[in-house]
Amino acid sequence: MTKLGNDFENFKTWDKENYFHPWEGLKVQGAGKADRTFSEYAEGIYVYDEHGNKVIDGPGGMWCMQLGYGNAEIADAMAAQARKMAYCSPFSEATSVSAEFAHAIAERAPGDLNRVYFTTGGSTAVDTAIRFVHFRNNLLGKPAKKRIITRAHAYHGGTYLTASLSGKPSERQWFDTDQVLPHFLPDVNAFRRPAGMSIEAFLDEKVADLENAILELGADNAAAFIAEPVLGSGGVIVPPAGYHKRCLEVCRKHDVLYISDEVVTGFGRLGHWFASEELFGITPDIITCAKGLTSGYAPMGAAIFSDRLFKDIEGDVSKDVYFTSGYTYSGHPVCAAAGLKNIEIFERDGILEHVRKVTPHFQKRLHQMLELPLIVDVRGMGLVGCIECSLTREGQASAGIDATIGAVIDARCQELGLMVRPYGNMAIFSPPLVITEAQIDDMFDMLTEGVQRATRELL
Ligand code: PLP
């Protein structure tokens, strides 16, 4: 057995040889050869890398570090819970911290979404939501009503089921996914709408896409529509005003359930506990969330179901029936303790109000980026932003040659002390929600300089 030492080079070697990372790129370095930068310490919005550089965490971890790093109160709450009761089987037992957290989430969820099913993260939350929809329709004697309508460029997770519902082309090509269950709607990105088409006409077309899909599949087969309020990792696509409301109306008309995937948008990212109701005026049937649920301090997700759905499956219909899906770590007490403390801090420190207060400044600085020649579109809402770049200024058609611009921008920004999340010809950022206006300025100043350096290098 290898003896643990503190020689840093050992860790680098073990990282390459033993740690199979998600999204491991095989093309450039070969499997397990990526030279990753290590970080051992972080505080607030800053990560300190192995070279001692202080870097603003532009992506906020993986869109999850709402309260930033080094929050001693959450760490203490988790430690106390681990000492008191580290684990409790969600299958056969109950414990107060998990029940209290379920209640706290239900109190903040829209409408009658009161049934909180805990999972281990976002993928398992969406997976559970879909399995519940199928389960319910089986109980209601509608075994054919199973198809799930999803959207191009959506991301719903990394399990077989949720990857099958995800529409980011770059992530689908080397895997097998279910070809029967999903039905993909075309791109909802207004930036890519045909030249001369108004936003209103584009909106009409997108809503018609959904209705036509339901008609094509048949309402007896179409079970649910799943959508991120703001489509996140697929390029921060903000829908035209009224989109979700009209889609919900279409769903209701045809008895199709509406699943709002708030894994990114939930827990403060857009200035509210959930974006569905407050920003988009809808009460969906199911909401999925994760990430900000514990501010990234513990792995946890939740699928929140409406009381209406539960009524459907109560009584005679569910005699001797079990919802036989679950996880050893559902409702884990240590994660629940992190989540409860997270909510307490959000409310005590006015985090949602803070996000709403700094959002106009963040979005103003984001939209000013459009003045840079490399940038062809900027999109964002709340504390989420994305710049889309093109070398040809014909952004619509140049995806191939522009595919690595995001990575170049990230590299140049990192030299200046800012991390961004590259995605093809885009760079995405979703900083910790505790970011101040002065730090937002630092971030966009570095981003501007990073884009300028990338432009000089690329053009
Ligand atoms: N749904 C959305 C909208 C996401 O953005 C993500 C992850 O980024 C997921 C689901 C999957 O969450 P997780 O990585 O926690 O499994």
Atom of ligand 1 nearest to the CA of 154: 3
The pLDDT score that the predictor gives to residue 31 is 59
Gap between the Cα atoms of 431 and 55, Å rounded: 12
Which helix or strand (DSSP H or E) is residue 57 part of? strand 54-57
Confidence of residue 315 (pLDDT cuts 50, 70, 90): confident
State phi, psi for 333 to the nearest 5 degrees: -60, -35
Distance 277 CA to ligand 1 centre (A): 20
Gap between the Cα atoms of 369 and 384, Å rounded: 14
Locate 208 and state its tokens: 């018609």
Distance 122 CA to ligand 1 centre (A): 4
For a substitution probing ligand 1, which of 264, 269, 386, 423 has the most ligand atoms within 8 Å of its CB?
264
Choose between 82 and 393: higher pLDDT: 82
Distance 261 CA to ligand 1 centre (A): 9
- Give pLDDT tens digits for 48-79: 999 899 999 999 999 999 999 999 999 999 99
Distance 9 CA to ligand 1 centre (A): 32
Give, using CA atoms, the residue closest to atom 14 of ligand 1.
Answer: 122
Distance 300 CA to ligand 1 centre (A): 11
Distance 124 CA to ligand 1 centre (A): 9
**Residue 8 in 3-state DSSP?**
helix
Q: Which of 194, 276, 195, 191 is nearest to 240 (CA)?
A: 191
Distance 272 CA to ligand 1 centre (A): 18
Averaged pLDDT for residues 333-338: 98
Give, using CA atoms, the residue closest to atom 12 of ligand 1.
Answer: 122
What's the number of CA atoms in the CB half-sphere (13 Å) around residue 440? 22
Atom of ligand 1 nearest to the CA of 291: 15
Atom of ligand 1 nearest to the CA of 162: 10
Distance 262 CA to ligand 1 centre (A): 9
- Give pLDDT tens digits for 182-219: 999 999 999 999 999 999 999 999 999 999 999 999 99
- Write out the E strands in 228-358: 257-261, 286-289, 301-306
Gap between the Cα atoms of 28 and 5, Å rounded: 30
For a substitution probing ligand 1, which of 64, 153, 155, 287 has the most ligand atoms within 8 Å of its CB?
155
| Per-residue pLDDT at 338 exceeds 80 | yes
Distance 234 CA to ligand 1 centre (A): 11
Confidence of residue 142 (pLDDT cuts 50, 70, 90): very high
Order of strands, sheet of 384-389, starting from the edge strand that comes earlier in the sequence: 375-381, 384-389, 426-429, 421-423
- Give pLDDT tens digits for 145-181: 999 999 999 999 999 999 999 998 877 888 999 999 9
Choose between 108 and 397: higher pLDDT: 108
Which contacts of 343-346 are long-range, i.e. CB under 8 A and separated by 24 or more positions?
343/104, 343/108, 345/67, 345/71, 345/73, 345/74, 346/66, 346/67, 346/267, 346/268
Gap between the Cα atoms of 50 and 241, Å rounded: 44
Distances (CA, A) of 392 to 162, 407, 458: 35, 17, 11
312 class by beta-carbon count within 10 Å (0-12 exposed, 13-18 middle, 19+ buried): middle
Averaged pLDDT for residues 383-400: 75
Range in 69-83, 113-127, 162-176, 235-249 with the lowest mean pLDDT: 162-176
Q: Which of 422, 425, 423 is nearest to 397 (CA)?
A: 425
DSSP string, 357-411: HHHHHHHHHHHHGGGSTTEEEEEEETTEEEEEE-SSS-TTT-TTTTTTHHHHHHH
The pLDDT score that the predictor gives to residue 128 is 98
Locate 350 and state its tokens: 């006015």
List all residues whose CB is within 6 A of at least one atom of ligand 1.
121-123, 126, 155-158, 228, 232-233, 261, 263-264, 290, 301
Atom of ligand 1 nearest to the CA of 121: 15
pLDDT above 90: percentage of residues in the chain = 85
The pLDDT score that the predictor gives to residue 232 is 97
The pLDDT score that the predictor gives to residue 401 is 58
For a substitution probing ligand 1, which of 118, 160, 161, 291 has the most ligand atoms within 8 Å of its CB?
291
pTM given for the model: 0.96
For a substitution probing ligand 1, which of 23, 63, 64, 123 has the most ligand atoms within 8 Å of its CB?
123
| Per-residue pLDDT at 223 exceeds 50 | yes
For a substitution probing ligand 1, which of 151, 236, 263 has the most ligand atoms within 8 Å of its CB?
263
Atom of ligand 1 nearest to the CA of 123: 16
Locate 50 and state its tokens: 């192995």
The pLDDT score that the predictor gives to residue 397 is 46
Distance 320 CA to ligand 1 centre (A): 33
Distance 117 CA to ligand 1 centre (A): 16
Q: What is the dihedral of CA 276, 278, 280, 284, to 10 degrees?
A: 30
Which helix or strand (DSSP H or E) is residue 132 part of? helix 122-139
Distance 123 CA to ligand 1 centre (A): 6
Distance 169 CA to ligand 1 centre (A): 16
Atom of ligand 1 nearest to the CA of 290: 15
The pLDDT score that the predictor gives to residue 172 is 80
